Amino acid sequence: MIDLRSDTVTVPSPAMRAFMLEAPVGDDVFMEDPTVIELEQTIAKIFGKEAALFCSSGTQTNQIAINVHVQPGGEVICHEESHIYKYEGGGIAKNSGASVRLLQGDRGRLSASEIEKWINPAQDVHFPITQLISLEDTANRGGGAIYDAQVLEKISDLSKKLKLPLHLDGARVFNALAENAMPAAQYGQFFDSISVCLSKGLGAPVGSVLIGSHEFIHKARRVRKVLGGGMRQAGIIAAGGLFALKHNVARLKEDHLHAKALENALLKCTFIEKVVPVQTNIVVAILKNAEQRDLLISKFAEKGIKCMAFGPGMIRMVTHLNISQQDIDYCVNIIEKM
């Protein structure tokens, strides 16, 4: 089976497993796990930040960040299709008692002018106090769309001017960095906190990291503990992330080329209305006849290709490090024949 449902389906390579097996470990709640410490210091340095915190998932890193930045009754500004709102089980309300202001924006992205319009006047007691701006780069529901550096700079300037923290859900931030060619340490300066998934295109089996200042990470560490996320000999899984940062970042462009090839093949299909222009590793296709979505997915499955329903009349294919050039050639051939 060629599994294009998500980049979360990647499995650790034999080399990654060997590295994990050998990793030195200790009790990370005592902050004595050398591998976790190395991972946290490595990723903080990559983004030009002081500190980081290894967590079980990207949902956990996002939810911790929100909890640190926002007080109950405060408001988070994010895109209406953002992961923090749509796919985290109502965690903003449940964990942090916060309100959300959901904005529309091109392919999951926001602009500084749109954000500025929706910042509530703090002196008016009617309104929840705006306390956080959260962005997603790349934007999953936007078909892997990337932010322009200039747009991020404007949003970052706005957040600094208003003293509003800016969080990045960077589940796929390395896919964005592979294309926008910004040095990560410079990119990191736009944000107060960054969440990065190690278990997607980077190919580690488990884990995400939250990145920020010493003060922020100290607070985040407490929230992680409260949520039951303090792990003991976590180095054995953190090692997968460390290995991924060393070996699986530079190759991400390959996945983007593969996604482009799938896009081009889908564009030739008579039953496809539109493909969201591919920028990274996510391909979203919109069918002419929405009713045929599940039939199409099962036709692909019969040919050994797994893809995912992505809303009414939409399918998603995601490329990743377990998809080879040969797999892509096969998929292109199947798609063009369909």
Instruction: Give residues in contact with ligand PLP (CB under 6 A).
Output: 57-59, 62, 83, 136, 140, 169, 171, 197, 208
When the beta carbons of 136 and 263 are compared against ligand PLP, the nearer one is 136
Task: Name the nearest CA neighbour of 25 among 16, 14, 34, 17.
Answer: 34
For ligand PLP, the closer of residues 252 and 265 by Cβ is: 252
Name the amino acid, one letter, at 244.
A
| CA 57/CA 9 separation, integer angstroms | 14
Q: CB of 257: closest distance to ligand PLP in angstroms?
A: 21
- Comparing CB distances to ligand PLP, the nearer of 94 and 117 is 94
Which residue is at the shortest CB distance from ligand PLP? 58
Residue 218 Cα distances to 65, 308, 336, angstroms: 11, 38, 53
Q: How far is the CB of 330 from ligand PLP (least distance, A)?
A: 26
- Indicate the residue among 74 and 144 with the shorter CB distance to ligand PLP: 144
We find the least distance from the C-beta atom of residue 84 to ligand PLP, in angstroms, to be 7
Least Å distance, CB 334 to ligand PLP, is 26
Closest listed residue to residue 39, CA positions, set 25, 21, 18, 58 = 25
Cβ-based nearer residue to ligand PLP, 240 or 265: 240
Residues 6+ apart with CB under 8 A from 208: 54, 55, 56, 57, 58, 60, 61, 171, 195, 196, 197, 198, 199
Phi, psi at 16, each rounded to 5°: -65, -45
Nearer to ligand PLP by Cβ, of 9 and 162: the residue is 9
Nearer to ligand PLP, 110 or 335 (CB): 110
Min dist CB 53 to ligand PLP, Å, is 14
Q: Which residue type, as a one-letter code, is found at position 12?
A: P
Q: Which is nearer to ligand PLP, 70 or 196 (CB)?
A: 196
In the complex, the smallest distance separating the C-beta of residue 110 from ligand PLP, rounded to whole angstroms, is 14
| Least spacing, CB of residue 197 vs ligand PLP, in Å | 5
Q: What are phi and psi of 135, to 5 degrees?
A: -115, 165
Cβ neighbors of 63 (< 8 A, separation 6 or more) are 84, 88, 91, 92, 95, 96, 227
- Least distance to ligand PLP, CB of residue 221, Å: 19
**Distance, CA of 160 to chain centre:** 23
Give the Cα separation of 89 and 244 in Å (integer).
28
Residue 171 or 278 having the CB closest to ligand PLP: 171
Nearest distance, CB of residue 219 and ligand PLP, angstroms = 20
* CB neighbour list of residue 113: distance below 8 Å, 6 or more residues apart: none
